[in-house]
A and B are shown apart, each in its own frame.
Chain A
Amino acid sequence: MTRRALPIAVGIGIVVWVVALALLAVTTEGSRRFEELQPWILLINIAGVVVLLALIGTRLTGFIRDWRRHVPGSRLRGRTILMFGGLAVAPLLLVFTFSVLFLTRGIDSWFHAEVRQGLSDALGLSRAALDLRMREILDRTGRIADDLSELRGGSLYMSLDNHLRLAGADELIVTSAGGQPEAYSTAGMLHGMPAVPQEELLLQVRQGRPFVSLEPAPGGGYLIRAATRIGSAQSLRGSRLLIATYPVPQRLADLAATVQKSYQQYGQLSYLREPLKLSFVLTLSLVLLMALLAALYGALYFSERLVRPVQDLIAGTRAVAKGDFETRLSKPSHDEIGFLVASFNDMTIKLARAREEAERSKAAVEAERASLAVILARLTSGVISLEPDFRVRVANQAAGQILGMDFDQAAGQPLAELAARHPLLGQLHAVMLRHLDAGEDEWREQLTLRGESGRRELVCACTALPGDAAVMGGLVVVFDEVTQLLQAQRQAAWGEVARRLAHEIRNPLTPIQLSAERMRRKLFRGLTSSDAELLDRSTQTIVQQVEAMKQMVAAFSEYAKAPEMQISEVDVNVMIRQVSDLYHAQDPRVAFGLALDARAAILEADPGRIRQLLNNLLTNSVEALDGRNNPVIMIETKRAGDQILLTVTDNGPGFQDSLIEQAFDPYVTSKPKGTGLGLAIVRRVVEEHGGQVELENAPQGGARITITLPAARRERA
């Protein structure tokens, strides 16, 4: 059924039902007009009750189901049903109670004693009036009988006709004692043979008592029938009877008929008194039942209609709470609920737009953040972003590399806690606190961080991020490690120094040496033996020292020179074995432990320089182990991604703390005869090959030098 057809069907049903109820009320009063329709009318009403019960059952079942499932709005609907039902039921019951009361009392009032007495009095009055008439008729009949006592045959007929006319009778009949008609005279429409006299009439007249009675006329109204014996004969045999029928005057007959009808109706009503009361009460009860059911159905229906928009709103609100902003509610009406629904729809539309905007903004921010992350990841500068409460917001990989720690899990952790666990970060943190205590949000400073792997020079800049007016948005610290840069600068400077030294010193050395030798040669013969010995010793010293200086200058020259590299593939493991064997042969006391990774073998490097690097490292270690018991040198290679790690560890005294930071600088040495160029050359070779070198004292003692060199391209993944 369509949405439009349903209300039409319901409307027609309601009209039929109301008409049926009205007809039921009419027919209960006894209207014959609708008697034939009565079963149908009752059937319609019963069908209405059944339909209403079915509708109520359906809706009530749904309501109870919703109530048990705690469907939103079911409580409100329950209260609405109670309210509507209460508002409808209370007046209905009140009206019903008073209606029944008035009805029963009204019906009882029909049968008050006064009414009955009045009717009895009217009946008695009518009878009295008719009795008077009957006595007159009886007297008149007696006189006629006296006149007819001697008449027979034709004269009797003539006399009958004459008396009929004079007395105004309808019929005069002369019969035998047995009731057989002998003569008769009729007036008006009464024709034909007279009827056989009534038995009671004959019996009474035979007994010698005149008979008179009031009888209902066949065509309505009344007639008075009188009978008496004709003549004075004592014997019944041969006697005759006169039976006369007189009309009752129309006026009196009408009044009597009215009284009779009222009496009969009153008797009928009296007989129907209790059934009428009961039927009226039942009719009222049926009407009440249907009205109650209709009210209950109306309460269910309208509560559902009233609550449905609220349920929709609740469902919509829940959907919005879950993030579904596409929820749109159908507008139920143009009232306040409709306005509320329209406002809700406007709200969801605006929320959807706001969410789209937020999502776009979020996507843009995410894109920016991703870009920033990529940029940060690619940056060689370390970047640490801090929350206003000094928790780490983000830090890039370079920051971790520079500070020797891993920032992957550091996001959200307080910087102070991280600083306590990582010494380099702790030093940076101390500098930051110092500036903050001084009220400096933005500062720039070159720092020197000291760690186990040596000194690290950082150029650090800090700036405050924009935030609220009262609270800053955090800090961002950017730092670059300039250790290698500074070292390179120092190395270049030292190279220049070496070159100048080589140039400036080497030139006079030969003349000095030649002059000393010439002086010895010229003066030696003319001197005394003691002077000659002094001269010889002095010139020897000069020559030796010049020779030493030449060697030093050669070393400087060597350091200062940067010949072209001859790059080829070098198997570093093979070279390590060769160099270590050579050193072991030179000093068998030193034990060499090799842990060489076959995956960390091939370098693209200058073989000569790599060999020089190994020589310098082993020379440095062997010299450090001079005089030590059980000298051991551990050489280890290991693959770390695309890098090859080369670690040389000895069990010597290790580096002095005061020298460890400048260990790679030229002319820094703790050995009496060292030139201080060994590790400087190591570092230069490593850097020439794109690697890194770190120096530290091993925890178990001794020095450890770790060199990182890129593996050959074909070895990379």
Chain B
Amino acid sequence: MRLTRMRQPGLVCVAAILFAALALRATAAEDGRFEIRNAYVELVEDVWQLDVRLDLGLSEAARQAFDEGVPLTLTLEAEASTARRFLPDETVVSLSRRWQLAYDAIADRYVVTNPASDERASHASREEALAALARIRELPLANTAKLPSDGRFEMRVRASVEVGEMPVAIKILLFWKSWSRSTEWYIWSVRP
């Protein structure tokens, strides 16, 4: 009988994918915790306002880049949806807000900017600035007309943070690199 050496490219590929996944997971574990600690909405004078509290941990590389002047961008996505019988949920409100945290080397202060309102708030330390960024208060979500009158709807929020303003071309070219971190969707039901 003639013995032939069998190649098993499938096993090699699977091993490589597992190795890559473990490596990515290890990298993620090294980074700081980034998740939504809690979130809620409340109706204030016919306006639903969103409050979100984040655990905004940064990796060491992101901290170093941040200290060198690279801005940090926090994006918050919020969606309100209503349940429909026999149909998928209808998204009635969808908004996205961005905040940028940058280090001002001249003033030696950390500046949080809301590009939408051009509000700027400076902080003496990075931790103070991160804490301020991680606490989103009274973010107008929608007026009551856009949401069900009975006050029953589903909410979900998700945050992502990105260090630096990476050109899209580089993001696409280096597609295998993780340029931003995102939280899982934080979902809850709003009841009157």
Separation of A124 and B140 alpha carbons in the complex (Å): 41
B170-A218 in contact (CB<8A): no
> What CA separation (Å) do A214 and B111 show in the bound complex?
12
Known contacts A215-B109, A256-B106, A267-B68; is A272 also within 8 Å of B122 by CB? no
Query: Is A279 interfacial (CB-CB < 8 Å)?
Result: yes
| B96-132 at interface with A (beta carbon < 8 Å) | 102, 104-109, 111, 118-120, 122, 124
A275 and B169 within 8 A (CB): no
Q: Tell me whether B167 and A126 are in contact (CB under 8 A).
A: no
Is B166's CB within 8 Å of the partner chain A? yes
Smallest CB separation, A188 vs chain B (Å): 18
Q: Do A30 and B167 touch (CB < 8 A)?
A: yes
B118 lies within 8 A of A42 (CB): no
Instruction: Known contacts A27-B168, A282-B173; decide if A216 and B104 are in contact (CB<8 Å).
Output: yes
* Distance of A275 Cα from B163 Cα, bound (Å): 13
Q: How far is the CA of A260 from the CA of B170 in the complex (A)?
A: 25
Q: Does chain A have a CB within 8 A of B57?
A: no
By the criterion CB–CB under 8 Å, are A263 and B109 in contact?
Answer: no
Q: State the main secondary structure of chain A at its contact with B.
A: helix
Q: Is B70's CB within 8 Å of the partner chain A?
A: yes
B165 and A268 within 8 A (CB): yes
Decide: B168 and A35 in contact? CB cutoff 8 A: yes
State A265–B177 Cα separation when bound (angstroms): 22
Q: Interface residue tally of chain A, by bracket?
A: 35 or more
CA distance A406 to B1 in the complex (A): 74
Give the complex CA separation of A263 and B111 in angstroms: 15
- Contact check, A215 vs B169: say whether CB atoms are below 8 A apart: no
Taken together as a complex, chains A and B put the C-alpha atoms of A219 and B118 apart, in Å, by 8
Asked if A268 contacts B69 (CB within 8 A), the reply is yes
Considering the chains assembled together, what is the distance between the CA atoms of A75 and B88 in angstroms?
65
A279:B65 contact, CB within 8 angstroms: no
Is A275 a contact of B177 with CB atoms below 8 Å? yes
Q: Say yes or no: is A96 at the interface (Cβ < 8 Å to chain B).
A: no
Whether B13 sits at the interface, judged by CB under 8 Å, is: no
A42 touches B172 (CB 8 A): yes
Q: State which of A218, A257, A263, A275 has its C-beta within 8 Å of the C-beta of B166.
A: A275
Measured between alpha carbons, how far is A123 from B69 in the docked complex, in Å?
A: 12
Partner of A279, one of B106, B164, B170: B170
Per-residue CB proximity of B23-57 to A under 8 Å, as 1/0?
00000000000000000000000000000000000
Contact (Cβ within 8 A) A218 B118: yes
Per-position 1/0 for B148-192, Cβ under 8 A of A? 000000000000000111111110111001000000000000000
A616 at the interface (CB under 8 A from B): no
Q: Which of A123, A213, A279 contacts B109 (CB 8 A)?
A: A213
* Centre residue among A28, A31, A257, A268 by max chain B CB count within 10 A: A268
Is B68's CB under 8 angstroms from A271's CB? yes
Contact among B65, B111, B166 for A216, CB-based, below 8 A: B111
A28 touches B70 (CB 8 A): no
A79 at the A/B interface (Cβ < 8 Å)? no
A670 at interface (Cβ–Cβ under 8 A)?
no
Given A27-B168, A218-B119, A275-B166, also A263-B173 (CB < 8 A)? no
**B62's closest neighbor in chain A, by CB?**
A271
Given contacts A216-B111, A218-B120, A267-B69, contact A38 B106 (CB under 8 A): no
Can you name 7 A-B pairs with beta carbons within 8 Å? A213-B107, A260-B104, A263-B69, A263-B105, A267-B65, A275-B174, A278-B174
A38-B169, A123-B105 provided; 12 other pairs, C-beta below 8 A?
A27-B168, A41-B169, A127-B106, A214-B106, A214-B107, A216-B120, A222-B107, A264-B70, A266-B68, A268-B165, A278-B173, A279-B173
Ranked nearest first, the 10 interchain pairs of A and B with the lowest CB-CB distance are A267-B69, A267-B68, A30-B167, A264-B69, A27-B169, A279-B170, A271-B65, A214-B107, A38-B168, A271-B70
> Which of A's residues lie within 8 Å of B, judged by CB?
24, 27-31, 35, 38-39, 41-42, 123, 126-127, 130, 200, 213-219, 222, 256-257, 259-260, 263-268, 270-272, 275-276, 278-279, 282-283
